[in-house]
């Protein structure tokens, strides 16, 4: 995910025991590098399959420009959120694309997905859009920030258990404290940082409970 692939189930056709990986909280460096290679290979396979589906003559011919957006969506649905802005900035886009052109475009969209993911505290663009809607409903001030009381309200709207679970509420307070946000207003980006810390802490606690 950190590299922007977000391929999910598309890599499960590999011979790797993914069930074993997903039930372990840690992997070594060699295994991590192998996972990265598998993701790269999986994206290339997906791009090739999609190109053959939407290009002329079953992939032997070019991909027409009007089918590019649909083809990118079939490679990774997350790429669609970047297409309009990318198209506005792209001054030279031929009417027909060969596979190398298409593969280069897929790589550029993965980089955009990666950059957005890293900039938003490892939340996807879809998640950011949803959280932004929740954030705006609580009425940020003219500087785009929520007062501390409303930040707590936002947390509770996302995690109702905060209302009755003292341990969860303590995790929220510690997350706010870690980011020096116990009393100051928070922007959306600031809230995302706190929320990421909160969710990572909760996930770590669950991993520890499973290992016991």
- pLDDT range class, residue 4, cuts 50, 70, 90: very low
Q: Give the CA dihedral 21, 26, 32, 38, nearest 10 degrees.
A: 20
* Residue 14 maps to a domain: yes
Is the same domain home to 35 and 76? yes
pLDDT score of 151 more than 80: yes
- Kindly tell me the burial class for residue 210, based on how many C-beta atoms sit within 10 Å of its own C-beta (0-12, 13-18, 19 or more): exposed
Task: Look at residue 68 in the predicted model and tell me its pLDDT.
Answer: 95
Count of positions (residues) in the chain:
212
Contact 190, 179 (CB under 8 A): yes
pLDDT score of 136 more than 80: yes
Is the same domain home to 113 and 151? no
pLDDT score of 10 more than 60: no
* Residue 17 maps to a domain: yes
pLDDT score of 30 more than 90: no
Looking at 119, 142, 158, which one is the last position of a domain? 119
Mean pLDDT of the region 113-142: 89
Task: Look at residue 9 in the predicted model and tell me its pLDDT.
Answer: 41
Alpha-carbon distance 121 to 126, whole Å? 13
Is the same domain home to 143 and 111? no
The pTM of the full predicted model, rounded to 2 decimals, is 0.65
Mean pLDDT of the region 146-165: 94
Quick one: which of 71, 68, 79 has its CA closest to 47? 71
pLDDT in tens, 81-96: 889 989 998 888 889 9
Alpha-carbon distance 115 to 128, whole Å? 13
What CATH number should be reported for the domain holding residue 162?
1.10.238
Looking at 102, 119, 136, which one is the last position of a domain? 119
pLDDT in tens, 157-193: 999 999 999 999 999 999 999 999 888 899 999 999 9
Mean pLDDT of the region 137-153: 93
Is the same domain home to 115 and 129? no
DSSP calls for 137-184: HT---TTS-B-HHHHHHHHHHH-GGGGT-HHHHHHHHHHHHHTT-SSS
Phi-psi region of 58 (alpha: psi -120 to 50; beta: other; left: phi over 0): left
- Domain span at 200: 125-211
Task: Look at residue 87 in the predicted model and tell me its pLDDT.
Answer: 92
């Amino acid at each position: 995910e950190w590299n922007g692939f977000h391929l999910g189930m598309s890599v499960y056709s590999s011979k790797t025991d993914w069930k074993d990986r997903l039930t372990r909280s840690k992997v070594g460096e060699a295994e991590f590098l192998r996972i990265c290679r598998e993701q790269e290979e999986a994206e290339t396979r997906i791009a090739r399959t999609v190109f053959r589906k939407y290009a002329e003559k079953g992939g032997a011919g070019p991909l027409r420009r009007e089918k590019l957006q649909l083809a990118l969506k079939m490679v990774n649905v997350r790429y669609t959120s970047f297409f309009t802005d990318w198209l506005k900035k792209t001054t030279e886009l031929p009417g027909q694309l060969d596979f190398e052109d298409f593969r280069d475009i897929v790589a550029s969209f993965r980089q955009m997905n990666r950059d957005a993911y890293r900039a938003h505290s490892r939340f996807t663009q879809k998640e950011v859009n949803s959280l932004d809607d929740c954030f705006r409903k609580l009425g940020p001030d003219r500087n785009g920030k929520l007062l501390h009381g409303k930040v707590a309200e936002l947390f509770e709207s996302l995690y109702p258990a905060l209302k009755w679970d003292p341990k969860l509420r303590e995790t929220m307070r510690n997350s706010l404290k870690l980011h020096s946000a116990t009393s100051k207003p928070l922007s959306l980006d600031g809230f995302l940082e706190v929320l990421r810390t909160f969710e990572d802490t909760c996930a770590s606690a669950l991993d520890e409970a499973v290992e016991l």
